[in-house]
Structure formats: C-alpha cells, structure tokens
Amino acid sequence: MGDIQKRLDDQSWEEPVRVERRRQWVEVGGMLIPVLSLEYEYQAYLKLGRVGKAEMFRSWLQKQKRANTRLHLTPLRCASRRR
C-alpha cells in the first residue's frame, strides 16, 4: 500500500497519509489483505467533496453502529465543491 494524498480545494496536496497508522488487515481466502477502514474512507470522500459516496459509507457505518458494533463516526466539514 503506497502513499496516499488528496488534492485540496486550493489545488495543493495534503501531506501523505501515514498508512501504517491507518492500515488494517482483513483475511480473505486465507490471505491477509491491507485495507483502510470505512471510517477513513468516509472522511476522505468528504474531503474530496464526493458527498454521495461518503453518504453511502456513513449510512452503512451507522447501521453497523446500531447493530452494536464498536464504530465511531466523526463528521468532517464537507468540501464545498462536488466532483
């Protein structure tokens, strides 16, 4: 998993994400696959202004939270422009 950066509204790039801090491992078919949490993806899509995609993650995460899983959703301010 390589460096991850997002382009901000002012066209600058944010600092690369420290993947090792956010990486989680999921076992699929006997293999360990590195992934980023859906919480991280939710926040990232909000930063990118992709509100529809972020809403899909938020909805799923809240359903899981209601099902008594231990997820924490911290909203970010939504980017003003949509892609």
The verdict on residue 37 lying in a domain is: yes
Q: Mean pLDDT, to the nearest integer, of 56-60?
A: 90
The verdict on residue 83 lying in a domain is: no
Q: How many domains does the chain fold into?
A: 1
16-54 residue pLDDT tens: 778 888 888 989 899 999 888 888 889 888 888 889 999
pLDDT at position 70 is: 55
pLDDT at position 72 is: 57
Distances (CA, A) of 24 to 21, 37, 64: 9, 7, 18
Range of 48's domain? Answer: 1-78
Residue 46: other Cβ atoms inside 10 A? 20
Q: Mean pLDDT, to the nearest integer, of 47-73?
A: 80
pLDDT tier at 82 (50, 70, 90 boundaries)? very low
